[in-house]
A and B are shown apart, each in its own frame.
Chain A
């Protein structure tokens, strides 16, 4: 298996532009998580889905952030409009059903908003 796939790996954009981050989970994993990592705030859970349904979005910073999971093999995290304080590394992680299972992380997308 290729693992969790994220694209793009790096994104540089200007303030006010729309940014879309993409994630392809490991086949068969039915939970998907979006995290943001910064030096100041560490690793933060933004939102997670179970069976394509958003379960907890309490970590989404504000209305500029939105996430979708239209099917079991694809998810997006969108920021519109982007701001410099959104600069961070965004990770997608997935989890197979079963109480003993661990999350598998993607390589992350490094976002820089100028």
Chain B
């Protein structure tokens, strides 16, 4: 079984401040983890993914995430928020060769000027 928990359905940060979006996972086998972003009226697009090659993963638009097995976490960070980062972010887990991907409930990021 696999599941994902995203803490905080809404997060607000000031422009230029650190962005931290939290994700914890549960998986019975080594997981593959993903962060997706959804801009208004668009589909989801991949930000970054963890595939066991490196625990710190860098993605597009300056985002990165660190896989911590001991904490079963895969939190998303960005050092300095930009207005264009305002969107909804989804964490997702895929267990091994299983095709099914389980998504979290999403976190809406608001960036305050």
Residues of A within 8 A of B (CB): 4, 31, 33, 42-43, 45, 48, 50, 55-56, 91, 93, 95, 99-100, 102-108
Contacts and interface: CB of A to CB of B under 8 A. Distances in A.
Contacts of A103: 44, 92, 101
A45 B100 contact: yes
A56 B98 CA distance: 12
A43 B103 contact: yes
Interface residues of B, number: 20
Given A99-B97, A102-B46, 9 more contacts: A43-B106, A55-B99, A55-B100, A91-B44, A99-B96, A100-B32, A100-B51, A103-B44, A103-B92
B2 interface: no
Give the top 3 A-B pairs by smallest Cβ distance, nearest first.
A105-B43, A100-B51, A105-B44
Contacts of B43: 4, 91, 93, 105-108
Contacts of A106: 43
B49 A42 contact: no
6 contacts: A4-B43, A42-B103, A48-B100, A93-B43, A104-B46, A108-B42
Given A43-B90, A107-B42, A107-B43, A102 B99 contact: no
A4 B99 CA distance: 17
B39 to A, nearest CB: 11
Given A42-B105, A43-B106, A50 B44 contact: no
Contacts of A42: 103, 105-106
A83 B100 CA distance: 28
A56 B46 CA distance: 23
